[in-house]
């Protein structure tokens, strides 16, 4: 094997290794610093993998990312749906184009989303981070599975995705807000039973007349009860 062939082989191996490293690092990297958010990103990643078009609709329709960008990230750039979601969610919370956050992530793809968020001044527990959580709740609402911030839940999108059964599922908590959520989503609220009794015009009368005819009235009502004999 001459030197030229050896050089070509070495270059091909180097390109292959670099491609493999890039595919491993620009992939799904969950490290936001918040367990609840990490779990939601795992589920969002699963949703986007199973239902690409509804996922792209959400990213472009609600988070304002150009559809062509989302398709490019998921396609030729091999981004995981969870990463696409979080980039777009961060960008929306910051009032930035999604491509700006994408470029920042691609500069250092191995550092995780927690480091990216801190770069923009968003830390776990901060109001801005809480806004990101509310954004996830809104996304789940639009996907037909309401959740509540910081309440444990596991969503299997193979059962609850588009075309599947919808479920309003959040664990019961304590306090007025939790009870209100339960009433709104369980269907057991007081106003939902529609129970009532409407027995109108109860009356019993024995009408006797010259012709000997007798009649009994069975029109029932709670308000007008009476017993009378007419002779």
Q: For residue range 85-133, what is the model confidence (pLDDT) as tens digits?
A: 999 999 999 999 999 999 999 998 778 888 899 999 998 888 999 999 9
pLDDT for the residue numbered 125: 87
Question: Which among 169, 164, 162 is positioned nearest to 147, based on CA atoms?
Answer: 169
Question: Which among 96, 93, 47, 100 is positioned nearest to 74, based on CA atoms?
Answer: 47
pLDDT for the residue numbered 185: 41
pLDDT at 147 over 80: yes
In angstroms, the CA 97 to CA 209 distance is 91
pLDDT for the residue numbered 111: 82
pLDDT for the residue numbered 112: 84
pLDDT for the residue numbered 194: 41
> Which tokens belong to 214?
């007798």
pLDDT at 229 over 80: no
In angstroms, the CA 89 to CA 98 distance is 8
Nearest 5°: phi and psi at 4? -65, -40
> Which pairs from 176-180 meet CB under 8 Å and 24+ separation?
178/148
pLDDT for the residue numbered 169: 45
- For the chain, give every domain's residue range: 22-184
Instruction: Compare 103 and 166 and report the one with higher pLDDT.
Output: 103
Mean pLDDT of 207-231: 44
Question: Which among 130, 49, 127, 135 is positioned nearest to 92, based on CA atoms?
Answer: 135
Mean pLDDT of 187-192: 40
Using alpha carbons, list the distances in angstroms from residue 208 to 59, 202, 213. 80, 19, 6
pLDDT at 31 over 90: no
* DSSP 8-state secondary structure symbol assigned to residue 197: -
Instruction: Compare 172 and 107 and report the one with higher pLDDT.
Output: 107
pLDDT for the residue numbered 29: 56
Instruction: Compare 99 and 188 and report the one with higher pLDDT.
Output: 99
Contact 216, 226 (CB under 8 A): no
């Amino acid at each position: 094997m001459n030197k030229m062939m050896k050089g070509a082989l070495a270059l091909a191996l180097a390109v292959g290794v670099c491609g493999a490293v890039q595919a491993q690092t620009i992939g799904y990297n969950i490290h936001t610093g918040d367990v609840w958010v990490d779990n939601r990103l795992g589920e969002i990643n699963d949703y986007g993998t199973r239902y690409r078009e509804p996922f792209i609709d959400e990213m472009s329709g609600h988070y304002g990312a150009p559809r062509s960008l989302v398709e490019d990230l998921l396609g030729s750039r091999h981004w995981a749906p969870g990463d696409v979601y979080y980039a777009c969610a961060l960008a929306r919370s910051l009032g930035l184009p999604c491509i700006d956050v994408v470029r920042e992530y691609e500069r250092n793809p191995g550092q995780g989303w927690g480091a990216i968020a801190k770069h923009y001044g968003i830390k776990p527990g901060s109001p801005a981070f809480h806004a990101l959580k509310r954004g996830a709740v809104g996304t789940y609402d639009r996907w037909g599975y309401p959740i509540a911030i910081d309440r444990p839940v596991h969503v299997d999108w193979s059962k609850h995705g588009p075309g599947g059964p919808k479920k309003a599922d959040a664990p019961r908590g304590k306090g007025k807000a939790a009870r209100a959520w339960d009433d709104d989503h369980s269907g057991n609220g007081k106003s939902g039973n529609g129970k009532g009794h409407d027995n109108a015009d109860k009356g019993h009368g024995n009408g006797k007349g010259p012709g000997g005819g007798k009649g009994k009235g069975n029109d029932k009502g709670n308000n007008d009860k009476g017993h009378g004999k007419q002779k």
